Amino acid sequence: MNDAILSLLGLCRRAGKLTIGNDAVVEDTKSGAAKLVILTRDISANTRKKLTKELGEVTILTLNRSKEELGFALGRRLAAVVAVCDDGFAAKLTTLIESDTGGNCL
């Protein structure tokens, strides 16, 4: 894998600092564990709207990758929403995603 963002997300998962899936991400956000939430570009508008309401103050970024690409990097079939639960990983991923997308926040 030559994609720095997906590689770092895979490392984050192996370190146990990544939560995958809508319900788990919402739970980690409410508990204060989530430092950054990342959505894929092809997440449905309804899901994006619902998550935005539920997540509150956490930073939400849109990754310029598909559910399939993110899922493959994380060893799953699909992944549309993930939460990063570590300040260092969150800071580095924010920098990489913003430079990749030109600062595209939700």
Q: For the segment 5-49, what is each residue's pLDDT rounded down to a tens digit?
A: 999 999 999 999 999 999 999 999 999 999 999 999 999 999 999
- Domain limits, the chain: 4-98
DSSP per position, 16-76: T-EEESHHHHHHHHHHT--SEEEEETTS-HHHHHHHHHHHTTSEEEEESS-HHHHHHHTTS
**What pLDDT was estimated at residue 57?**
87
Position 85 confidence tier, pLDDT thresholds 50, 70, 90: very high
Interval 42-73: pLDDT, tens: 999 999 999 989 988 899 999 999 999 999 99
Contact, 18 vs 9, CB < 8 A?
yes
How many other C-beta atoms lie within 10 A of the C-beta of residue 37?
23
CATH number of this structure's domain 4-98: 3.30.1330.30
Q: What integer pLDDT is reported at residue 105 of this predicted model?
A: 54
DSSP secondary structure letter of residue 105:
B
Q: Give residue for tokens 């990544």.
A: 18
